[in-house]
Protein backbone atom coordinates (compact mmCIF):
# COMPACT_ATOMS: atom_id res chain seq x y z
CA UNK A 1 0.00 0.00 0.00
CA UNK A 2 1.40 3.41 -0.90
CA UNK A 3 0.85 6.72 0.88
CA UNK A 4 1.77 9.36 -1.69
CA UNK A 5 -1.08 11.79 -1.26
CA UNK A 6 -3.67 9.03 -1.45
CA UNK A 7 -4.01 5.40 -0.54
CA UNK A 8 -3.66 3.20 -3.59
CA UNK A 9 -6.30 0.49 -3.71
CA UNK A 10 -5.17 -3.12 -3.92
CA UNK A 11 -6.63 -5.63 -6.29
CA UNK A 12 -9.79 -7.09 -4.74
CA UNK A 13 -8.23 -10.56 -4.74
CA UNK A 14 -5.17 -9.55 -2.71
CA UNK A 15 -5.13 -9.90 1.06
CA UNK A 16 -5.41 -6.68 3.00
CA UNK A 17 -2.47 -6.00 5.28
CA UNK A 18 -1.53 -3.79 8.18
CA UNK A 19 1.13 -1.29 7.12
CA UNK A 20 3.95 -1.51 9.68
CA UNK A 21 4.98 2.16 9.45
CA UNK A 22 1.41 3.38 9.86
CA UNK A 23 1.03 1.06 12.84
CA UNK A 24 4.23 2.48 14.36
CA UNK A 25 3.15 6.12 13.98
CA UNK A 26 -0.27 5.44 15.51
CA UNK A 27 1.35 3.48 18.33
CA UNK A 28 3.39 6.58 19.16
CA UNK A 29 0.97 9.42 18.40
CA UNK A 30 -2.13 7.43 19.27
CA UNK A 31 -0.95 6.90 22.83
CA UNK A 32 -3.09 9.08 25.06
CA UNK A 33 -1.86 12.70 25.12
CA UNK A 34 1.12 12.25 22.72
CA UNK A 35 -0.59 13.59 19.61
CA UNK A 36 -2.15 16.43 21.58
CA UNK A 37 1.22 17.41 23.06
CA UNK A 38 2.73 17.49 19.57
CA UNK A 39 -0.23 19.59 18.43
CA UNK A 40 0.38 22.10 21.23
CA UNK A 41 4.07 22.31 20.36
CA UNK A 42 3.21 22.89 16.69
CA UNK A 43 1.91 26.29 17.84
CA UNK A 44 5.24 27.31 19.40
CA UNK A 45 7.85 26.08 21.88
CA UNK A 46 6.41 26.02 25.39
CA UNK A 47 7.38 25.56 29.02
CA UNK A 48 6.18 22.54 30.97
CA UNK A 49 3.53 24.53 32.86
CA UNK A 50 2.18 26.05 29.65
CA UNK A 51 1.69 22.60 28.17
CA UNK A 52 -0.10 21.35 31.30
CA UNK A 53 -2.43 24.38 31.25
CA UNK A 54 -3.13 23.95 27.53
CA UNK A 55 -4.31 20.34 27.92
CA UNK A 56 -7.13 19.89 30.45
CA UNK A 57 -6.87 16.65 32.42
CA UNK A 58 -3.16 16.08 31.79
CA UNK A 59 -1.20 15.57 35.01
CA UNK A 60 2.38 16.71 35.59
CA UNK A 61 3.56 13.12 35.98
CA UNK A 62 1.95 11.94 32.75
CA UNK A 63 3.23 14.98 30.84
CA UNK A 64 6.74 14.26 32.09
CA UNK A 65 6.46 10.63 30.93
CA UNK A 66 5.03 11.59 27.54
CA UNK A 67 7.65 14.28 26.91
CA UNK A 68 10.34 11.72 27.69
CA UNK A 69 8.80 9.29 25.16
CA UNK A 70 8.54 11.99 22.51
CA UNK A 71 12.17 13.00 23.12
CA UNK A 72 13.27 9.36 22.81
CA UNK A 73 11.39 9.24 19.49
CA UNK A 74 13.30 12.39 18.39
CA UNK A 75 10.10 14.42 17.98
CA UNK A 76 10.64 16.81 20.91
CA UNK A 77 13.73 18.42 22.41
CA UNK A 78 14.22 20.37 25.60
CA UNK A 79 16.25 23.49 26.18
CA UNK A 80 17.29 24.57 29.66
CA UNK A 81 16.78 28.32 30.08
CA UNK A 82 19.41 29.85 32.34
CA UNK A 83 17.08 32.46 33.81
CA UNK A 84 16.44 33.80 36.28
CA UNK A 85 14.14 32.08 36.69
CA UNK A 86 15.65 28.85 35.44
CA UNK A 87 13.24 26.94 33.24
CA UNK A 88 12.89 24.38 30.49
CA UNK A 89 11.45 25.01 27.06
CA UNK A 90 10.13 22.15 24.92
CA UNK A 91 10.04 22.37 21.15
CA UNK A 92 9.56 20.08 18.20
CA UNK A 93 12.64 18.82 16.43
CA UNK A 94 12.78 19.07 12.62
CA UNK A 95 11.48 15.49 12.61
CA UNK A 96 8.57 16.56 14.82
CA UNK A 97 7.88 19.57 12.59
CA UNK A 98 7.57 17.15 9.66
CA UNK A 99 4.30 16.00 11.26
CA UNK A 100 2.72 19.44 10.66
CA UNK A 101 1.05 18.66 7.28
CA UNK A 102 -0.43 15.40 8.56
CA UNK A 103 -1.73 16.98 11.77
CA UNK A 104 -3.16 19.96 9.88
CA UNK A 105 -5.09 17.52 7.68
CA UNK A 106 -6.31 15.60 10.75
CA UNK A 107 -7.48 18.92 12.23
CA UNK A 108 -9.37 19.74 9.01
CA UNK A 109 -11.01 16.32 9.08
CA UNK A 110 -11.98 16.81 12.74
CA UNK A 111 -13.40 20.26 11.96
CA UNK A 112 -15.70 18.68 9.38
CA UNK A 113 -16.66 15.48 11.17
CA UNK A 114 -16.24 15.68 14.96
CA UNK A 115 -17.99 17.63 17.66
CA UNK A 116 -15.51 18.82 20.27
CA UNK A 117 -16.35 20.00 23.80
CA UNK A 118 -15.78 23.76 23.91
CA UNK A 119 -13.26 23.68 21.07
CA UNK A 120 -10.70 21.90 23.22
CA UNK A 121 -9.75 18.28 23.15
CA UNK A 122 -10.77 16.14 26.09
CA UNK A 123 -7.89 13.66 25.69
Quote the number of domains for the chain. Answer: 1
Q: What is the pLDDT of residue 16?
A: 84
- Whole-number percent of the chain with pLDDT over 70: 85
Q: What is the pLDDT of residue 80?
A: 96
**CATH number, domain at 50?**
1.10.10.10
Q: What does the pLDDT look like over 61-111, one tens digit per residue? A: 999 999 999 999 999 999 999 988 889 999 999 999 999 999 999 999 999
CB atoms within 10 A of CB 49: 12
Distance (Å, rounded) from C-alpha 19 to C-alpha 87? Answer: 40
Indicate the pLDDT class of residue 5, thresholds 50, 70 and 90. Answer: low
CB atoms within 10 A of CB 27: 10
Q: Does some domain include residue 19?
A: no
Answer whether 40's CB lies under 8 Å from 90's CB: no
Enclosing domain of residue 85: 29-119
Distance (Å, rounded) from C-alpha 91 to C-alpha 51? Answer: 11
Amino acid sequence: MAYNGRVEAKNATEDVTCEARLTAVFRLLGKRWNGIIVGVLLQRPARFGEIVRAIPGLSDRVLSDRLRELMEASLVEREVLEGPPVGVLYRLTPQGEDLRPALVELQRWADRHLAVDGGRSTG
